[in-house]
Structure 1
Amino acid sequence: MPTAQTPVAIVTGAARGIGAATAMRLAADGYAVAVLDLDESDANDIVNNIIHTTGRAAIAVGADVSDESSVEKAITQIADSLGSPTVLVNNAGILRDNLLFKMSADDWDSVIRVHLRGAFLMSKAAQRFMIGQPYGRIINVSSTSALGNRGQANYSAAKAGIQGFTKTLAIELGKFGITVNAVAPGFVETDMTAATAERVGMTFEAFKAASIAEIPVGRVGQPEDIAAAVSFFASKDAGYVSGQVLYVAGGPGQ
């Protein structure tokens, strides 16, 4: 059990990829971390890694971020186990890519539910604790796809919605000492981008090579690149930064 002074961070979709790297980074920054994913058992490896690598407290939490009762149960579990959350990173997401004429209503709804409804429910639940402190950081993970991307009408709409949601929460919650910002990754090497390569019929190596040709810094992103941006927004140094969308894409937003 951490001391009362230990700040608490929640990272959703944290069993792998960007979420896992972010959970590790925040633990290294001094936070006790709730590693939240749909299946609690999937988060155990990251929790063990945090504890053994950083010595920080960490727990695995299973929750469906699109389900209100599941979210409320998870937030209560986290507050009881670690303490009131100080930082929330809304990273949970899924892909159901397809061209518009092939995209089913279920494909649309499932992506909107996880990304956008999930961020709404988690933020609404967590901000109650932050207002009482009063201090808080909410960091939402958007994407360069918010600017439009072929075959991702659902994902693009959800990520664009995340950006509007971010700016509105920054206005509403600022007077309580809570900042709200978004990180919008470009191409990051994860299981999700590997799945995209498979969808378009390319090997992952060829897919990465094609992407690198369009990225000014000449490489694809790594989950740790996004975690570093989240770390800044979560810090006290970012207290005068709110309602911003930071494109972490190796160049300007695409």
Structure 2
Amino acid sequence: MFDLSGKGAIVTGSTRGIGRAIAEGLIAQGAKVVISSEDAQDTARVAAQLGMPGQPCDVTDDAALAALVDRAVTEFGGLDVLVCNAGITGRAGPFADLDMADYARVMAINLTSQVALCNLALPKIAERGGGAAVLVSSLSGLRGNGRINAYALAKAGVAQLARNLAVEWGPRGVRVNAISPGFIATELSGPLLADAAFMARRMAMTPLRRPGTPQEVAGAAVFLASAAGAFVTGHNLVVDGGTLITDGS
């Protein structure tokens, strides 16, 4: 049910962290994946390590997004799976102190790029008779927070984008879902992992009492991309160890 043999996929932001784990998870199930990030050297290095084609892509550049989709179609003869993972956190702080230039960049990378890439990729997936798109949202888009501003707003938009696109593309066999990771142990979360006070507070709010791993998010992505998730669309799958549902007791 999880076999992806013969499937062609794109994963943006796939040179490290959650994106790389998702790419590796798809590859382990037999998919061929275009590795992509805005850093050409990182893209080439990771693509070589994984034995897959690499395509540098600044997701705010429409021409680069078109080239990314074209590369997948050329390499694989079509496209079956899209994972929109690329994103940035932006500056922390309340909306009252928001830097509008930072806000614009966060929204462009985290939300607008997913709209643009889906508009390019979903028709290609439909041409293959159907497939799946997985849009990476966040737990921060489901809860209020005094310091996560534009990022949370963008990620809430990603979950709604998945619902809208699921309605639009379902009749053509294309499923679109979101994943909302909670606190995941990655290179980027290193400073928080080293902050004992933060970790004690955050783990007390998480029933499983530990951070998640990138591979655990990848497992959710493989499920949504494969036949195992064939009747799931428009869903926001929360992968957070229970943080969303707990009262902290």
Fold match (TM-score > 0.5):
yes
**Structure 1 equivalent of residue 185 of structure 2:** 189
Q: Helix, strand or coil for the counterpart of 1:9?
A: strand
- The within-5 A match list for 1:229-244 is 229-244=220-235
Q: Distance in 2 between matches of 1:69 and 1:27?
A: 27
Q: Which deviates further from its counterpart, 180-189 or 64-73?
A: 64-73
**Structure 2 equivalent of residue 101 of structure 1:** 96
**Structure 1 equivalent of residue 150 of structure 2:** 154
**Structure-2 change in CA distance of 1:206 and 1:47 (3 Å):** farther
Q: Distance in 2 between matches of 1:207 and 1:12?
A: 30
**Structure 2 equivalent of residue 223 of structure 1:** 214
Percent sequence identity is: 32
**Structure 2 equivalent of residue 175 of structure 1:** 171
What do residues 81-102 of structure 1 show as CA deviations (whole Å, max 9, x unaligned)? 2331110001100011222232
Q: Give the Å deviation of 1:247.
A: 0.6
Give the number of equivalent residue pairs: 239
Structure 1 unaligned runs (5+)?
52-57
**Structure 1 equivalent of residue 130 of structure 2:** 135
Q: Which deviates further from its counterpart, 25-34 or 69-78?
A: 69-78
Q: Helix, strand or coil for the counterpart of 1:253?
A: helix
**Structure 2 equivalent of residue 92 of structure 1:** 86
TM-score by length of 2: 0.90
Q: Which deviates further from its counterpart, 206-215 or 180-189?
A: 206-215
Q: Give the Å deviation of 1:252.
A: 5.2
Q: Distance in 2 between matches of 1:93 and 1:83?
A: 28
Q: Distance in 2 between matches of 1:153 and 1:140?
A: 20
- Asked if 2 retains the 8 angstrom alpha-carbon contact of 1:112 and 1:155, the reply is yes
- Asked if 2 retains the 8 angstrom alpha-carbon contact of 1:211 and 1:220, the reply is no
CA RMSD of aligned residues (A): 1.7
Q: Distance in 1 between matches of 2:145 and 2:86?
A: 19
TM-score by length of 1: 0.89
- Asked if 1 retains the 8 angstrom alpha-carbon contact of 2:81 and 2:132, the reply is yes
- Asked if 2 retains the 8 angstrom alpha-carbon contact of 1:41 and 1:60, the reply is no
Structure 2 unaligned runs (5+)?
none
- Among 68, 71, 80, the alignment partner of 1:74 is 68
Q: Distance in 2 between matches of 1:203 and 1:100?
A: 27
Structure 1 residue identity aligned to 2:8: V
Q: Give the Å deviation of 1:136.
A: 1.4
Q: Distance in 2 between matches of 1:173 and 1:231?
A: 20
Q: Give the Å deviation of 1:21.
A: 0.4
Q: Distance in 2 between matches of 1:208 and 1:155?
A: 21
